[in-house]
Structure 1
């Protein structure tokens, strides 16, 4: 199919990698965003990364992204993080700050699903402790991606919307942290993670994230209806 027909004839385009990562998905998405109204990140976490080089000569800028969809470097393109993404809130906030320091307007164009499972300190601790214990390493990035998806499947994950109900968040966090701390200390021979430190950080993250929280399904349905 000709390049222009891909860009101009399809109302919605999905880019899926089939080679276990590093297939160049980010470059394809960046190419497609010339003609896109919005870009959606629908799964994965901040273990992924892609570098975008925009412009030429003195106007050339380099952007390094992990969580924020690559459409953010294109003016007028809205970006969405769907509930299939496992979210390290602190990393996202830092990435947004770095992009805005480079002159991009991010917060008004980025929407985050309240259903995203949160990557928390015990997930990172589990990831690194398991890798250290293995005789044969699997090469994990140690960023807590796998353990967070485990909690999602096991129906014990804390999600973005939990951040806005502090008492409930504290109860759920203590329950799941006690569970994982038992594994960390008794099986993996590692240190327990601190409840208060994670709780305080999460409450700060809630304040920063709140303006960007949106029903992504409704946003995409409305955008699709507008054509």
Structure 2
């Protein structure tokens, strides 16, 4: 596992006057925010407030109606999610988006495909470059699983895991892209008390790598315990 470290306090993400409308419905209505490396920022608000819609704009799944989004000083308003991920931003989802037909280990390995230094013929011929790349990929995937505290069988299908362990795998996969900014969409949803405490410790470990974290969460005890700044959204504002 290779940790990503940055200089604490560097502005990574700048959102200015962001708007997103679906017909006459304003999902996001003038949101402005900034996120620095090595900080934990929470976004709170009632259901339908526009939190996930804002995440979808920032991570490239939605194209905003207007406003600017810059990541590491460059506009990403028209960028694809894959391009944004390669630039150093990763996210998890409110509903788990793991590959159900893959093992725990293979789910994490999928996050590394863009960084593998091999060509199609390397994979076909199993060249030394392919073997080196695969060994590195395997070591890093296991490193991230260890980092998030996964202690189960890495060869199990993810659907065979308890819900809380699936959440760990999802975070490990996001970290395997080596992000500088991590967006977490309700990571505590469905977790019991002990699992939430472990999640808090994990988020702090991620922050200690210098990674900026933006967290959507409804558990106010968790939010107040972990957040360094809080933004409140209501009706997109």
Give the TM-score, by structure 2 length.
Answer: 0.29
Give the TM-score, by structure 1 length.
Answer: 0.30
Q: Which has the higher contact order (CA 8 A, sep 6+)?
A: 2
Higher strand share: 2
